[in-house]
Amino acid sequence: MLIFGLLMAIVLMACVPLAMAAEPDLNVTASKIPIKIVNVIFMLGICGVGAIFQYFVSSYKNQLNCSPIEYFFGAIKYTLASIGASGVVVMQMVSDGKTDISDPLILGALFMSGYAIDHVLNKPPAQPTLRMGV
């Protein structure tokens, strides 16, 4: 699973030059700030990498005893809440005009917000309990 997370991070980091070289034909204008849709999707992806990293850290600390698929899809309402909160963070950064994905401070803030949001909102699925003699 760690290899999967590292591969996903490498793929996302390889998309930075693609997102920076994208033509402005996908622009949306909100409050006189041109926004590239590719940048917004990339920003959501960085939040997702932070959430995946949070799973691996919790799993490494033996706080979780489930697979990543069970963690993210077993209790889907918590995962959807985490994704929604990450979307709010990205939209706030976009409304502030902070869409420059070549800035390491923005990438770090997105990564840490994805990590923190997943840590607070996402929960593993409930483990079945054994009731003997009931």
**Cα gap 1→67, rounded to integer Å:** 9
Boundaries of every domain in the chain: 2-121
Higher-pLDDT residue of 57 and 16 is: 57
Angstrom CA distances, 52 to 19, 47, 55, 73, 96, stand at 22, 9, 5, 13, 26
Give pLDDT tens digits for 2-18: 555 555 555 555 555 54
**Cα gap 2→6, rounded to integer Å:** 6
The pLDDT of residue 34: 64
A 10 A CB-CB count for 31 gives 8
A 10 A CB-CB count for 45 gives 20
pLDDT bin (cut points 50, 70, 90) of residue 32 is low
The fraction of the chain above a pLDDT of 90, given in percent, is 24
The pLDDT of residue 47: 92
Q: Which residues contact 132 (CB under 8 A, 6 or more apart)?
A: none
